[in-house]
Structure 1
Amino acid sequence: MTAVTDRDRDHAGDRWDDGFIARSRNRAGRKGGPRGSGARAGDALIDDALLDAALLAGGLDDEAADGADGRRDGAGTEDDDGGDEAIVRAVSGAGSDGGKAPAPPLSPEAQALRTRLDALRQLVGLSRTRLDGKTLAEAGRVLDEAAARRGLSPQHTVVAIAGATGSGKSTLFNSLAGVQISETGLRRPTTAAPIACSWSDGAAGLLDRLEIPGRLRRRPRETPEAEALRGMVLVDLPDLDSALGAHREHVDRVLALVDAVVWVVDPEKYADAVLHERYLRPLAGHAEVTFVVLNQVDRLPGDAADLVLDDLRRLLDDDGIALGEHGEPGATVLGLSALTGEGVGELRELLGQFTQEKGAATRRISADVDRAALRLRPLYVADGHSGPSGPEIGEAARAEFEDRLAEAVGAYAAGLAAERAWRRNAGKACGTPWLRLWRWYESRRAPRSLASLALMSAKGRGSGTAAAAPPEEEVTARQRVEQAVRTVADEAVVGLPDPWAQAVRETAVRGAERLPEALDELAVTLGAAVAVPGAKPPRPAWWPVAVLAQAAMTLVQIFGGLWLVGQIVGVLEPKLLPPVLFMVAGIVGGPLVEWTCSIAARGPARRYGQDAERRLRQAAAGCGRARVLEPVAAELLRYREVREQYAAVAAGGTKLSTTRQ
Structure 2
Amino acid sequence: MSRHGAARESSRLHSRLEALNDARELAAGALPEEALDEVLEVLDRASSRRSLSAAHTVVGFFGATGSGKSSLFNAVSGAEIATAAARRPTTAEPQAGIWGADDSEPLLDWLEVRNRHHAAPVPGFADEDTGLILLDLPDFDSTRAANREVVQRMVGLVDVLVWVLDPQKYADAAVHNDFLAPLSSHGAVTLVVLNQIDRLPGHDVRPVLESLRGILARDGLGKVQVIGASAVEGTGVDQVRGAIRAAAIRRQALSQRLAADVARSAAMLAEASGTGEPAGVTAAAGSRLRAELAVAANVPVVVDAVVRSYRLEAGRRTGWPVTRWLARFRPDPLRRLNLRRDRGAPEVNRTSLPAAGAPERARTDAAVREFADAASEGASGPWRAAIRGAAREGREQLPDALDQAIASTDLKAARKSWWWSVFNVVQWLALLLAVGGFVWLGVLAVLGYLQLPVPEVPRVEGWPLPTVMIAGGILVGVVLALAAAFIGGAAARARGAGARKRLTAAVGAVAEEHVVEPVALEVSRVASFNAALKVAATD
| TM surpasses 0.5 | yes
1:618 paired residue among 496, 500, 505: 505
Residue 156 (structure 1) shift:
1.8
Unpaired runs of 5+ in structure 2?
Answer: 332-352, 449-453
Which residue of structure 2 aligns with residue 655 of structure 1? none
1:353 paired residue among 243, 246, 249: 246
Higher RCO structure (Cα 8 Å, ≥6 apart): 2
Q: What letter is aligned with 2:142?
A: S
How far apart, CA to CA, are the structure 1 residues paired with 2:21 and 2:356? 52
**Paired residue secondary structure (2:191):** strand
Q: CA contact under 8 A between 2:98 and 2:119: conserved in structure 1?
A: yes
How far apart, CA to CA, are the structure 1 residues paired with 2:124 and 2:432? 131
- When structure 1 is superposed on structure 2, of 497-506 and 242-251 the one drifting more is 497-506
**Paired residue secondary structure (1:614):** helix
Residue 558 (structure 1) shift:
5.9
Once the two structures are superposed, the pairs formed by residues 48-63 of structure 1 within 5 Å of their partners are none
2:402 paired residue among 501, 504, 519: 519
Once the two structures are superposed, the pairs formed by residues 432-451 of structure 1 within 5 Å of their partners are 432-433=320-321, 436-437=322-323, 440-441=325-326
CA displacement, residues 334-373 of structure 1 (integer Å, 9 cap, x when unaligned) = 3233333333333322222222111101111111122222
Q: CA contact under 8 A between 1:110 and 1:362: conserved in structure 2?
A: yes
Residue 557 (structure 1) shift:
5.6
1:265 paired residue among 162, 165, 173: 165
Q: What letter is aligned with 2:275?
A: D
Give the paired residue count: 503
Q: CA contact under 8 A between 1:567 and 1:574: conserved in structure 2?
A: no
Distance 1:528 1:225, change over 3 A: closer
Once the two structures are superposed, the pairs formed by residues 245-260 of structure 1 within 5 Å of their partners are 245-260=145-160
1:110 paired residue among 1, 10, 13: 10
Once the two structures are superposed, the pairs formed by residues 33-182 of structure 1 within 5 Å of their partners are 106-124=6-24, 134-182=34-82
Q: What letter is aligned with 2:143?
A: A
Q: CA contact under 8 A between 2:60 and 2:160: conserved in structure 1?
A: yes
Distance 1:300 1:645, change over 3 A: same
CA displacement, residues 543-585 of structure 1 (integer Å, 9 cap, x when unaligned) = 4444455456556666777788869978657979525777666
CA displacement, residues 208-246 of structure 1 (integer Å, 9 cap, x when unaligned) = 3333334x5252564345569933322223332233434
Is 1:383 aligned to residue 275 of structure 2?
yes
**Paired residue secondary structure (1:282):** helix
Once the two structures are superposed, the pairs formed by residues 642-657 of structure 1 within 5 Å of their partners are 642-652=529-539
**Paired residue secondary structure (1:369):** helix
CA displacement, residues 461-485 of structure 1 (integer Å, 9 cap, x when unaligned) = xxxxxxxxx9576555455445544
Identity of aligned pairs, percent? 36
Residue 611 (structure 1) shift:
1.4
Q: CA contact under 8 A between 2:35 and 2:268: conserved in structure 1?
A: no
Residue 263 (structure 1) shift:
1.5
Distance 1:599 1:119, change over 3 A: same
Residue 277 (structure 1) shift:
0.9
**Paired residue secondary structure (1:162):** strand
CA displacement, residues 26-75 of structure 1 (integer Å, 9 cap, x when unaligned) = xxxxxxxxxxxxxxxxxxxxxxxxxxxxxxxxxxxxxxxxxxxxxxxxxx
Residue 314 (structure 1) shift:
1.6
1:365 paired residue among 248, 258, 270: 258
**Paired residue secondary structure (1:107):** helix
Q: CA contact under 8 A between 2:394 and 2:515: conserved in structure 1?
A: yes
Q: CA contact under 8 A between 1:422 and 1:537: conserved in structure 2?
A: no
Residue 159 (structure 1) shift:
1.3
Residue 538 (structure 1) shift:
1.6
How far apart, CA to CA, are the structure 2 residues paired with 1:200 and 1:441? 107
**Paired residue secondary structure (2:291):** helix
Is 1:210 aligned to residue 118 of structure 2?
no
Distance 1:362 1:473, change over 3 A: closer
Q: CA contact under 8 A between 1:409 and 1:519: conserved in structure 2?
A: yes
Residue 637 (structure 1) shift:
5.2
**Paired residue secondary structure (2:463):** helix
Which residue of structure 2 aligns with residue 422 of structure 1? 310
Which residue of structure 1 aligns with residue 335 of structure 2? none
Q: CA contact under 8 A between 1:169 and 1:264: conserved in structure 2?
A: yes
Q: CA contact under 8 A between 2:433 and 2:469: conserved in structure 1?
A: yes
Q: CA contact under 8 A between 1:240 and 1:247: conserved in structure 2?
A: yes
Q: CA contact under 8 A between 1:164 and 1:239: conserved in structure 2?
A: yes
1:578 paired residue among 442, 445, 463: 463
**Paired residue secondary structure (2:227):** strand
Q: What letter is aligned with 2:245?
A: G
How far apart, CA to CA, are the structure 2 residues paired with 1:608 and 1:140? 60
Once the two structures are superposed, the pairs formed by residues 201-350 of structure 1 within 5 Å of their partners are 201-202=101-102, 203-214=104-115, 217=117, 219-220=119-120, 222-224=122-124, 226=126, 230-301=130-201, 303-321=203-221, 323-324=222-223, 331-350=224-243
How far apart, CA to CA, are the structure 1 residues paired with 2:260 and 2:478? 91
Is 1:413 aligned to residue 301 of structure 2?
yes
Is 1:393 aligned to residue 278 of structure 2?
no
Unpaired runs of 5+ in structure 1?
Answer: 1-102, 325-330, 448-469, 531-535, 653-661
Residue 269 (structure 1) shift:
1.6
How far apart, CA to CA, are the structure 2 residues paired with 1:475 and 1:226? 80
Q: RMSD between aligned alpha carbons?
A: 4.1
How far apart, CA to CA, are the structure 1 residues paired with 2:372 and 2:292? 14
Residue 271 (structure 1) shift:
0.8
**Paired residue secondary structure (1:191):** coil
Q: CA contact under 8 A between 2:99 and 2:128: conserved in structure 1?
A: no
How far apart, CA to CA, are the structure 2 residues paired with 1:442 and 1:538? 17
How far apart, CA to CA, are the structure 2 residues paired with 1:592 and 1:370? 86
How far apart, CA to CA, are the structure 1 residues paired with 2:390 and 2:474? 66
Q: What letter is aligned with 2:290?
A: E
How far apart, CA to CA, are the structure 1 residues paired with 2:458 and 2:365? 77
How far apart, CA to CA, are the structure 1 residues paired with 2:498 and 2:106? 76
Distance 1:336 1:591, change over 3 A: same
How far apart, CA to CA, are the structure 2 residues paired with 1:210 and 1:537? 79
**Paired residue secondary structure (2:418):** coil
Which residue of structure 1 aligns with residue 493 of structure 2? 606
Residue 133 (structure 1) shift:
5.4
How far apart, CA to CA, are the structure 1 residues paired with 2:124 and 2:505? 85
Which residue of structure 2 aligns with residue 25 of structure 1? none
Give the TM-score, by structure 2 length.
0.78
How far apart, CA to CA, are the structure 2 residues paired with 1:271 and 1:188? 27
Residue 282 (structure 1) shift:
1.2
How far apart, CA to CA, are the structure 2 residues paired with 1:109 and 1:265? 32
How far apart, CA to CA, are the structure 1 residues paired with 2:236 and 2:327? 114
**Paired residue secondary structure (1:372):** helix
**Paired residue secondary structure (1:136):** helix
